[in-house]
Chains A and B, each alone.
Chain A
């Protein structure tokens, strides 16, 4: 009796297996056939995560397949990055990261992968310039006053940053080097806590992205002393170049990468889908609500930027950590 039921089950399983196998053989390979995974090497809820959620909720209309976010935080971004570096280069696993993790980290730590060789860019989604801010009741009305006070009291002014070699730290270090001043760098777990420290009086100066401080500016709680970029963001606030900090300082680029070796037509399909986001009204509306801009750059163009960043960051780290 037992034997009979075993036989039955076994033959059923075989039949099922064969059916599946047969049906797969007839498949055509038009990318994408199944949902794509977008790995984020950072924690949940950050601005990166929010950007990704908006992207993945709109892009399925252009790809005909879902795009799923997979958060893989750890080791300052290395965990998620390594996962994608080791993933199959078939276009079903992508990495959504930013330039500091992508091009800077390799010069500060020994990584188990090579960002230049193991990854190829798909598209840059947007970029954000950073701004130097103080409380509105602080004695520094202009950037020059801040610099003068810093020179008079080396290491006395507290600068809150979001973590070593992060988006707030690097511009600050570049500034300290360019202007020959020294701040006391106090770490915080991200831009939010750093801003809170400034508002609470635990720090004298910090940096932030304009989207994060819009409300505070309107309420008159903070004052912007300088912003990154070639043009002024706020009419009466000078740019970094104007106050003596030259070069590519203070930009965070959010970019989608794919493992090296991904077929060109796959990259093209993905790139085209991302490019169409620029025209999508819902997408631009949501991004503007998040305070982010939309400036899609394709694979080749961003690769050129990566090459520049590689050289620049190597120099930067060398000068900052020598002495």
Chain B
């Protein structure tokens, strides 16, 4: 009898999650996918919107199940060096900064949100110089914003106050 160890390596966890999700998806497919519309009593599309998703769910579930069995039979993997708590903390701070950036860009405008994010990031990466930080945090977004909106004619979110300031700066 082969030893059937259950080691929750990240790989296995991901596979289990995918398996569960695809099974749930199959079960609830009618709630998740809207029914096709009708024209003259016939369906508007030749292929039902739920066909491909169903196929994918079935395929996913099968593959995950097979892989789980195969991986378990193969036994343990070499224990890879995992991250130290210090590294984890740095990762969390990094993602926190990015999430903050994502949430503040629209309400605070590009300049302020970017300045904040850049300052946090450069500080986390070990920059000690105030001048560099300020130059980077303000110079960077200002240059990019002007280039993007004036040269490339795309729009970035910005507070009305600051936008008018730019317009005045460049001679309105």
State the A residues within 8 Å of B (CB). Answer: 2, 5-6, 9, 20-21, 23-24, 27, 33-34, 37, 66, 68-70, 108, 164, 173, 176, 182, 185, 187, 320-321, 323
Contact = CB atoms under 8 A, between A and B. Distances in A.
B40 A34 contact: no
Interface in B109-134: 130-131, 134
Interface string B39-58: 11100110000000000000
A34 B155 contact: no
A9 B130 CA distance: 10
Contacts of B164: 24, 27, 33-34
Nearest to B167: A34
Contacts of A185: 39
Contacts of A24: 161, 164-165, 168
Given A34-B167, A185-B39, A323-B38, 11 more contacts: A2-B130, A33-B164, A37-B155, A68-B155, A70-B155, A164-B37, A173-B39, A182-B40, A321-B37, A321-B39, A323-B40
Chain B interface mostly helix, strand, loop or mixed? mixed
A133 to B, nearest CB: 22
B39 A320 contact: yes
A20 B165 contact: yes
Nearest to B165: A20
B168 A164 contact: no
A176 B167 contact: no
26 contacts: A5-B130, A5-B131, A6-B130, A20-B161, A20-B165, A23-B168, A24-B165, A24-B168, A27-B164, A33-B164, A33-B172, A34-B164, A34-B167, A66-B153, A68-B153, A69-B153, A108-B37, A164-B37, A164-B44, A164-B45, A176-B40, A320-B39, A320-B40, A321-B37, A321-B38, A323-B41
A63 to B, nearest CB: 14
Contacts, number: 46
Interface in B67-89: none
Contacts of B163: 34
A70 B154 CA distance: 7
Interface residues of B, number: 20
B167 A33 contact: yes
A21 B130 CA distance: 26
A94 to B, nearest CB: 13
Contacts of B131: 5
Contacts of B154: 70
Interface string B8-51: 00000000000000000000000000000111110011000000
Contacts of A20: 161, 165, 168
Contacts of B40: 176, 182, 320, 323
Nearest to A16: B165
Most buried by A among B39, B41, B45, B164: B39
A66 B41 CA distance: 49
A24 B44 CA distance: 56
B19 to A, nearest CB: 31
List the 9 shortest-distance A-B pairs measured between CB atoms, nearest first. Answer: A20-B165, A323-B41, A68-B153, A34-B167, A24-B164, A23-B168, A321-B38, A323-B40, A164-B44
A70 B157 CA distance: 13
Nearest to B44: A164
Contacts of B155: 37, 68, 70
